[in-house]
Amino acid sequence: FIIPHILISHLFLAKPMFRYAMSVQEATARNTTDMNAIVTCADTAILYDAQGFLLRRFEKSSLEIRKANMKIQQRKALGIGLLPLMGMCGYLVILLIGGSRVQAGNITFGELAAAFQYRGGLLKSTMMFINSFINIKASQAGIKRVNETMCITLEE
């Protein structure tokens, strides 16, 4: 039950995080450009009565940032909701199989309790690995954006 958890987390959480983080970076860049236009062109905008246009454009780019951030939060919430489901399924399987083996006399209750402890440790380490992987994927978007801004090309 650990392997499906890793695969689901990788396919549905980690992969889209890079794309969503890139969209946040791009929306932030557009928002900064719009804010810069409002600040630097304020006199011209007042002269030609274009303040409404600049403010609507800034509002639109601000909403894009919010939408992109909400997509990231939605994926994180999906991952948090997935954790108890995957964790409980494994414990139930151990309990069912271990309970029948304890009744048959093949293992003791202490060995069953140890299996629960091993499962908990494995689950914790897997969650740490998945969270690290998701954070690395999301951070790659920021690194890519910095490299684009500084005109640095990566050697492959």
Q: Whole-structure pTM over 0.75, yes or no? A: no
Determine the pLDDT at residue 144: 80
Determine the pLDDT at residue 127: 81
Determine the pLDDT at residue 65: 93
Determine the pLDDT at residue 61: 92
Query: Is the CB of residue 75 less than 8 Å from the CB of residue 13?
Result: yes
Determine the pLDDT at residue 60: 93
Distances (CA, A) of 70 to 45, 65, 95: 32, 9, 38
Question: Helix 15-40 to helix 109-149 angle, to the nearest 10 degrees?
Answer: 40
How far is it, in rounded angstroms, from Cα 100 to Cα 110? Answer: 14
Determine the pLDDT at residue 70: 93
Determine the pLDDT at residue 155: 61
Determine the pLDDT at residue 149: 78
Determine the pLDDT at residue 1: 58
How far is it, in rounded angstroms, from Cα 71 to Cα 23? Answer: 10
Q: Where are the domains of the chain?
A: 2-143
What pLDDT tens digit does each residue of the chain (156 aa) get?
567 767 777 777 778 888 888 888 889 989 998 888 888 888 888 878 888 888 899 999 999 999 999 998 888 888 777 777 777 777 788 888 888 898 998 989 899 899 889 888 888 888 888 888 888 877 887 788 777 777 766 665
Determine the pLDDT at residue 62: 93
Asked: is 2-143 a CATH 2.30.110.10 domain? The reply is no
